[in-house]
Amino acid sequence: MSRFFTTGSDSESESSLSGEELVTKPVGGNYGKQPLLLSEDEEDTKRVVRSAKDKRFEELTNLIRTIRNAMKIRDVTKCLEEFELLGKAYGKAKSIVDKEGVPRFYIRILADLEDYLNELWEDKEGKKKMNKNNAKALSTLRQKIRKYNRDFESHITSYKQNPEQSADEDAEKNEEDSEGSSDEDEDEDGVSAAAFLKKKSEAPSGESRKFLKKMEDEDEDSEDSEDDEDWDTGSTSSDSDSEEEEGKQTALASRFLKKAPTTEEDKKAAEKKREDKAKKKHDRKSKRLDEEEEDNEGGEWERVRGGVPLVKEKPKMFAKGTEITHAVVIKKLNEILQARGKKGTDRAAQIELLQLLVQIASENNLGEGVIVKIKFNIIASLYDYNPNLATYMKPEMWQKCLDCINELMDILFANPNIFVGENILEESENLQNVDQPLRVRGCILTLVERMDEEFTKIMQNTDPHSQEYVEHLKDEAQVCAIIERVQRYLEEKGTTEEICRVYLRRILHTYYKFDYKAHQRQLTPPEGSSKSEQDQAENEGEDSAVLMERLCKYIYAKDRTDRIRTCAILCHIYHHALHSRWYQARDLMLMSHLQDNIQHADPPVQILYNRTMVQLGICAFRQGLTKDAHNALLDIQSSGRAKELLGQGLLLRSLQERNQEQEKVERRRQVPFHLHINLELLECVYLVSAMLLEIPYMAAHESDARRRMISKQFHHQLRVGERQPLLGPPESMREHVVAASKAMKMGDWKTCHSFIINEKMNGKVWDLFPEADKVRTMLVRKIQEESLRTYLFTYSSVYDSISMETLSDMFELDLPTVHSIISKMIINEELMASLDQPTQTVVMHRTEPTAQQNLALQLAEKLGSLVENNERVFDHKQGTYGGYFRDQKDGYRKNEGYMRRGGYRQQQSQTAY
């Protein structure tokens, strides 16, 4: 665009000259020879007339220039603001763009801006160092530019395929526009808009490139000035032709317009001119490439990111020539620790500084005391790397932490003269005087406890069904080894309280593990000749029962806090139950009286108590004690929240009852997956125990209207099975138990056995037990016995007498067992019968009322209650239901009526029996 044009609007009046751009009249130009129609106020200045296209495109170029400047300094917020203004300006120029087409410089800025934002987005380190506003603006602008560029996808694709050609075509188009409509606008420095845009499109790659670019722009400026002169002459000739035909105002307007070449000669001249320009450009480009190749002989140029280069230099710990002493190192350590926890502190860099300080201390032989002190702070900094309690340590940080603790323990074991403890004040530390014992402030037990908590968090936040969980679980061996080393260290130098704490850590990593070696030794006792004494000693040392006994008894005797003792007792009971030591586990639970006040304990201890009770119930079931198993599992299973009570997950319905913070706290209390108890096994054990208790009870009290339910959950499963419209073969574990219950109710023990023990149930439940075959054998025996009891309860009214041998063959039990079961039923008055010893038969007494008699008794009971209600309502209507008469009538109802009904029942029973 010519320097004679301004940004003023065409509709502005000539009197408002203050808002218009005024350019001094050039001396000696061709314009001085033309007669101009100027007012008296415009004798020394000339008003510039501009088209709408020029104004709109200039507004776009100005905004593009601002965006590119913001891109240079990585100001994404400014880029976002200017991009929004650019979109509005493009909307204003929409009518011109529809006629002329989308300008190439607009396509170029959209493509460059998108590439620039993608580069920033992929730069992870750069994003971390961005301030909050820039990071937010980057995300917003990236979404907007991707959405906005969909309308220009074809243009951007063609531009990216050949950006240099697009830039050349854009420059040529701008030059043509400057010839026809003066579209080339020079700014105050004399640089044209086309040259400016081209300069923006080509990214500099070095100092030589910048210098060459500047020379190229100067050449283009000189060409543009020549074009302006040609434009002037052409406009002068066209002006002289138009003066004869049109008026003075038309002549003034025609000065700024150039007619398109009409003749073939003019077209050829214009084409030749373009070819000359293209040739000159090509020569300049080839010359520039040759010079770059000469400069590149020493090495290749590298493409670098825009903005200020971030040179990461290794921090200097001490000035050159500084003497490294204990005081200097401790002072530097305190300087590093002062930044700990402050906002903006790079925690990773702080850890590197501390590790570098350890190297310096070891290189200068400052002694083990200084190294131990720095190591304590390194481990503490590793724990502080994640400020949030919910986040867990990264794998590299976790491994670094384990290595650092091992190194610290190596130093402490190698130097017995070093004493560490929380009670040592910093003023009383001795880090350099070797003649006296070295004293360092710090607690190795606290670091190990924090390490154990971090390991738990890692396991909680890892997908339990992935290989990553297995890899993390392998680290438990290292954790246990570290705890064992700390235990040996504290047994020599620790206090009683510290020994109890480290013993509890050791117990928590031992109590839930089944000792297969000890179990194998019990099954196959070793012979003296097969194994050496050394091997036997090693096996005895690995026995977890002996270890748990020693650690727990020390805590029982020495611990002063109730929490550690409670946790130790629960872990001890759990370990006994896991290894089928039912009576030891039961006695320890009853003697501890934990069930009386466990509701006042903190949630982790309550979860441990629930886990212990569940394991106790499973142990009782393995021993064949179904009643004890049912009682132990009743509280957990009847609540319907076994998963939550055992700390193995949160229920969806309970998530709605708590807020987000409470949910986070609950999730931190969950036990890792490798400590979980199989919930399906737990429910199956409970339902089978309830079946073995409930079915004989239901058969014995079938006619009793007031019979109580032993297990509500079991009855619920029975009702669910009865409500099913179509009964197919059982699929789930619950369906198997319901089907087995129905078979047992009929006395069919073989069908019941096939439903409880089959391939599907073995895979789901029974194979999970350590001694699966023993459990299955016990279960078959229990089903036979309870089916016999149910059969006798159900069909005793049918038989006058029945042979015990028949019962023995029917239920495949030996005769003494059948005799024992029937004798117990007779003694407990559950079965009205007697044993005929010579004939080995059971003689029924037929004292049980028939079904018709039971219905008659129930009807009489209900009629009596109906009469009482009618009397009460009648008395209330008569108004005699209070005062003195109330006592009389109540006495009548309580005594005489009761005696009357009781006498009736007694008389009825006498006649029936």
Give the model confidence (pLDDT) of 726-755 as tens digits: 778 888 888 899 999 998 888 888 899 999
Q: CA geometry: angle at 112 spanning 108 and 117, to 5°?
A: 150
What letter would DSSP give residue 23? E
The predicted pLDDT at position 245 comes to 45
Give the model confidence (pLDDT) of 593-626 as tens digits: 888 888 888 999 999 999 999 999 999 999 989 9
The predicted pLDDT at position 438 comes to 82
What are the CA-CA distances from residue 456 to residues 359, 378, 723, 841 (Å)? 32, 21, 45, 64
How many beta carbons lie within 10 A of that of residue 203, not counting itself?
A: 9
The predicted pLDDT at position 20 comes to 40
Could you write out the DSSP letters of every residue in 177-234? HHHHH----B-TTS-BHHHHHHHHHSPP-SHHHHHHHHHHHHHHHHHHHHHHHHHHHH
Rounded Cα gap, residues 634 and 911, in angstroms: 43
The alpha carbon dihedral of 868, 871, 876, 881 has a sign of: negative
Question: What's the average model confidence in pLDDT over 315-321?
Answer: 64
Q: Comparing 654 with 87, which gets the higher pLDDT?
A: 87
How many beta carbons lie within 10 A of that of residue 154, not counting itself?
A: 10
Question: What's the average model confidence in pLDDT over 68-88?
Answer: 90
What are the CA-CA distances from residue 620 to residues 370, 624, 681, 689, 737 (Å)? 56, 6, 14, 10, 19
What letter would DSSP give residue 315? P
Strand partners, 421: 441
**Burial status of residue 219 (CB atoms within 10 A of its CB: 0-12, 13-18, 19 or more):** middle
The alpha carbon dihedral of 205, 211, 212, 215 has a sign of: positive
The alpha carbon dihedral of 277, 282, 283, 288 has a sign of: positive
Give the model confidence (pLDDT) of 235-288 as tens digits: 444 444 444 444 445 444 455 555 555 566 667 777 777 877 777 777 777 767
pLDDT over 70 for what percent of the chain?
Answer: 72
The predicted pLDDT at position 22 comes to 40
- Chain centre to alpha carbon of residue 587: 42
What band does 706 get if pLDDT is binned at 50, 70 and 90?
Answer: low
Which of the listed ranges 2-6, 442-446, 874-878 does the model predict with the highest average pLDDT? 442-446
The predicted pLDDT at position 809 comes to 87
Question: What's the average model confidence in pLDDT over 693-706?
Answer: 80
Question: What's the average model confidence in pLDDT over 879-898?
Answer: 45
What band does 874 get if pLDDT is binned at 50, 70 and 90?
Answer: confident
Question: What's the average model confidence in pLDDT over 194-199?
Answer: 42
The predicted pLDDT at position 292 comes to 56
The predicted pLDDT at position 316 comes to 59
Q: CA geometry: angle at 500 spanning 494 and 505, to 5°?
A: 105
Give buried/exposed letters for 31-61 (b at 16+ CB in 10 A, else e). beeeeeeeeeeeeeebbbbbbebbbbbbbbb
Give the model confidence (pLDDT) of 789-799 as tens digits: 999 888 888 88
The predicted pLDDT at position 47 comes to 65
What band does 30 get if pLDDT is binned at 50, 70 and 90?
Answer: very low
pLDDT at 38 over 60: no
Among 3, 39, 1, smallest CA distance to 22 is for 3
Q: Indicate the range of 203-217, 405-419, 491-505, 686-700 predicted with least confidence.
A: 203-217
Pairing between β-strand 841-844 and β-strand 801-803 as defined by DSSP bridges: antiparallel
Rounded Cα gap, residues 184 and 105, in angstroms: 13
Question: What's the average model confidence in pLDDT over 644-658?
Answer: 76
Pairing between β-strand 418-421 and β-strand 438-441 as defined by DSSP bridges: parallel
pLDDT at 80 over 50: yes
Q: Indicate the range of 333-342, 535-544, 778-787 predicted with least confidence.
A: 535-544
Supply 59's token pair: 């507004």
pLDDT at 344 over 80: no
The predicted pLDDT at position 654 comes to 59
Pairing between β-strand 45-46 and β-strand 418-421 as defined by DSSP bridges: unpaired
Which of the listed ranges 215-219, 222-226, 337-341 does the model predict with the highest average pLDDT? 337-341
Give the model confidence (pLDDT) of 107-123 as tens digits: 899 999 989 998 888 88
Give the model confidence (pLDDT) of 397-408 as tens digits: 889 899 999 999
The predicted pLDDT at position 321 comes to 64
The predicted pLDDT at position 656 comes to 64
How many beta carbons lie within 10 A of that of residue 186, not counting itself?
A: 19
Question: What's the average model confidence in pLDDT over 46-55?
Answer: 76
Which of the listed ranges 225-229, 589-593, 664-668 does the model predict with the highest average pLDDT? 589-593
What are the CA-CA distances from residue 779 to residues 591, 616, 622, 773 (Å)? 30, 18, 9, 10
Q: Collapsing DSSP states into helix, strand and coil, what is residue 412?
A: helix
pLDDT over 90 for what percent of the chain?
Answer: 20
Asked if 398 contacts 475 with a C-beta cutoff of 8 angstroms, the reply is yes
Please name the residue that has the structure tokens 């905004």. Answer: 63
| Domains of the chain, each with CATH number or no CATH | 53-162 (no CATH), 678-844 (1.10.10.10)
What are the CA-CA distances from residue 602 to residues 142, 845, 904 (Å)? 49, 58, 58
pLDDT at 187 over 50: no
Supply 750's token pair: 């073989």
Q: Collapsing DSSP states into helix, strand and coil, what is residue 341?
A: coil
Rounded Cα gap, residues 782 and 777, in angstroms: 9
Asked if 705 contacts 731 with a C-beta cutoff of 8 angstroms, the reply is no
Rg (CA), the chain: 48
Q: Which helix (H) or strand (E) segment is 24 a member of?
A: strand 23-24
Torsion of CA 513, 516, 517, 521, to 10 degrees: 130
Phi, psi of 730 (to 5 degrees): -65, 140
pLDDT at 540 over 70: no
Rounded Cα gap, residues 181 and 184, in angstroms: 9
Asked if 340 contacts 350 with a C-beta cutoff of 8 angstroms, the reply is yes
Rounded Cα gap, residues 193 and 172, in angstroms: 12
Phi, psi of 812 (to 5 degrees): 55, 45
Supply 780's token pair: 């078959």
Q: Comparing 911 with 323, which gets the higher pLDDT?
A: 323
Please name the residue that has the structure tokens 């001119």. Answer: 273
pTM: 0.60
Asked if 288 contacts 216 with a C-beta cutoff of 8 angstroms, the reply is yes
> How far separated are the first and last CA of the chain, in Å rounded?
126
Please name the residue that has the structure tokens 């203004």. Answer: 85
Supply 274's token pair: 């373009």
The predicted pLDDT at position 277 comes to 79
Q: Indicate the range of 38-42, 146-150, 465-469 predicted with least confidence.
A: 38-42
Rounded Cα gap, residues 543 and 552, in angstroms: 15
Q: Collapsing DSSP states into helix, strand and coil, what is residue 830?
A: coil
Q: Collapsing DSSP states into helix, strand and coil, what is residue 498?
A: helix
Strand partners, 430: 439
Rounded Cα gap, residues 440 and 442, in angstroms: 6
Among 805, 912, 825, 787, smallest CA distance to 860 is for 912
Could you write out the DSSP letters of every residue in 588-612? HHHHHTHHHHGGGS-HHHHHHHHHH
Mean pLDDT of the chain: 76
Please name the residue that has the structure tokens 């032989």. Answer: 365
What band does 4 get if pLDDT is binned at 50, 70 and 90?
Answer: very low
How many beta carbons lie within 10 A of that of residue 365, not counting itself?
A: 7
Q: Comparing 561 with 41, which gets the higher pLDDT?
A: 561
Among 577, 603, 573, smallest CA distance to 591 is for 573
Question: What's the average model confidence in pLDDT over 503-529?
Answer: 78
The predicted pLDDT at position 23 comes to 41
What band does 649 get if pLDDT is binned at 50, 70 and 90?
Answer: confident
pLDDT at 527 over 70: no
Asked if 402 contacts 482 with a C-beta cutoff of 8 angstroms, the reply is yes
The predicted pLDDT at position 337 comes to 82
The predicted pLDDT at position 46 comes to 57
What band does 210 get if pLDDT is binned at 50, 70 and 90?
Answer: very low
The predicted pLDDT at position 714 comes to 86
